[in-house]
Amino acid sequence: MAWAESIVGALKKHNVRFLNYVPDTKIEKILQAARQLGGFEALPLTREEEGIGVVCGQSLGGGRGVMLCPTAGLGNSINALASLSIPYRIPCPIIIGVRGDLGEFNPAQVAMGQATQDILDALRIPTYSITREDEAEKITDGALRICYASEGPVAILVTNEVAGWKEGKAKT
């Protein structure tokens, strides 16, 4: 997937080394591209909130990590963002695989997917969407720049427009 390779290329350009994740089909594409390029360490988490703590710890140590998760996982991360990354001003880039949007088959993904932008806006977290393959590099690069400049969380949404939607079993 060219969009995933572009994202990973931008991560490398900014010396991001740690890919902390809760999996998702889009996130798996990014992890595959990272394995191919090399030079990253992937850490699977039990829950996304943990990942915010881990990324912040890596940042405090002078390392660079990102949190990779689906939209549902953003819901699991909110208080860690609000009580750690934001008040302490710790860079925390979050790459979010969108669910509950265009083409969604799973009824239980929709509410969180549709609320994602409003939740990020309510916390004043700068948010950028990748909707086309040819802008994936620029958006990831630009989002990381503002993240390290502002020293706080920044979200990158990998949309279904660019990455497709998950095929699942329809309701019976």
Partner 1 sequence: MIDRTEASKYLVGKLKDELVVTSLGNEKYDLRSGGERDRNFYNWNAMGMASSIGLGLAMARPELKVIVYDGDGSLLMNLGALATIALREPKNLIHIVWDNRSYAMTGGQPTATAYHTDLAAMARGAGYPKVERTETLEAFKSAADRALTEPGPWFIHCPMQEKPVKGGGLPSPTAIKHRFMDAIGARH
Alpha carbons within 13 A on the beta-carbon side of 26: 23
Provide, rounded to whole angstroms, the least separation between the CB of residue 59 and partner 1.
Answer: 6
In terms of Cβ atoms closer than 10 Å to its own Cβ (0-12, 13-18, 19+), residue 115 is: middle
Binding residue for partner 1, selected from 13, 35, 36, 88, defined by CB under 8 A: 88
Which bin fits 38, alpha (ψ -120 to 50), beta or left (φ > 0)? Answer: left
Provide, rounded to whole angstroms, the least separation between the CB of residue 129 and partner 1.
Answer: 24
Binding residue for partner 1, selected from 2, 13, 39, 60, defined by CB under 8 A: 60
Which lies closer to partner 1 via its Cβ, residue 54 or residue 136?
A: 54
Binding residue for partner 1, selected from 1, 32, 43, 78, defined by CB under 8 A: 43
The set of residues, in sequence order, having a beta carbon less than 8 Å from that of 162 and lying 6+ positions away, is 3, 130, 131, 132, 133, 136
Provide, rounded to whole angstroms, the least separation between the CB of residue 143 and partner 1.
Answer: 15
Does 101 help bind partner 1 (rule: CB under 8 A)? no
Q: Is 93 helix (H, G, I), strand (E, B) or coil?
A: strand
Contact criterion met (CB below 8 Å) for 66 and 15: no
The set of residues, in sequence order, having a beta carbon less than 8 Å from that of 117 and lying 6+ positions away, is 127, 157
Q: Is 114 helix (H, G, I), strand (E, B) or coil?
A: helix
Does 13 help bind partner 1 (rule: CB under 8 A)? no
Task: Considering only the stretches 28-36, 53-61, 98-106, 138-146, report the one whose residues sit in contact with partner 1 under the rule CB under 8 A.
Answer: 53-61
Provide, rounded to whole angstroms, the least separation between the CB of residue 74 and partner 1.
Answer: 16
Residues that bind partner 1 (CB under 8 A): 18, 20, 41, 43-47, 49-63, 65, 79-80, 83-84, 87-91, 148, 151
